[in-house]
Amino acid sequence: MVNVLFAAEAERWAEYELPLRSAFRDSGIDVTLSTEHDPVEVDYIVYAPNGPVTDFTPYTKLKAVLSLWAGVETMVGNSTITAPLCRMVDHGLTESMVEWVTGHTLRYHLGIDQFLTQQDGNWRLGFAAPLARDRKVCILGMGALGAACGQALAALNFDVHGWARRAKQVDGVTCHHGGSGLDAAIEGADIVALLLPDTPETENVLDAERMALMARGGYVLNPGRGPLIDDEALIAALDSGQLAHATLDVFRIEPLPATHPFWAHPLVTVTPHIAAETKATTASQVIARNVVRGEAGKPFLHVVDRAAGY
- Spell out the alpha helix ranges (H) of 87-164: 91-110, 112-116, 144-155
Please tell me which residue in 12, 225, 245, 302 is annotated as part of the active site: 225
Confirm if 233 and 187 have CB atoms less than 8 A apart.
no
Q: Distance (Å, rounded) from C-alpha 66 to C-alpha 285?
A: 12
Backbone φ and ψ of 157, nearest 5°: 80, 15
**Which is nearest to 195 in space by CA: 233, 163, 232?**
163
**Which is nearest to 8 in space by CA: 40, 49, 41, 64?**
49
225 assigned to active site: yes
Q: Distance (Å, rounded) from C-alpha 63 to C-alpha 85?
A: 9
Strand 159-164 relative to strand 64-67, pairing? unpaired
Total length of the chain: 310
Cβ atoms within 10 Å, residue 231: 16
Q: Distance (Å, rounded) from C-alpha 49 to C-alpha 51?
A: 5
Please tell me which residue in 273, 289, 293, 306 is annotated as part of the active site: 273
User: Is the Cα dihedral 58, 289, 310, 256 positive or negative?
Assistant: negative
104 assigned to active site: no
Q: Distance (Å, rounded) from C-alpha 188 to C-alpha 179?
A: 17
Catalytically active residues are 225, 273
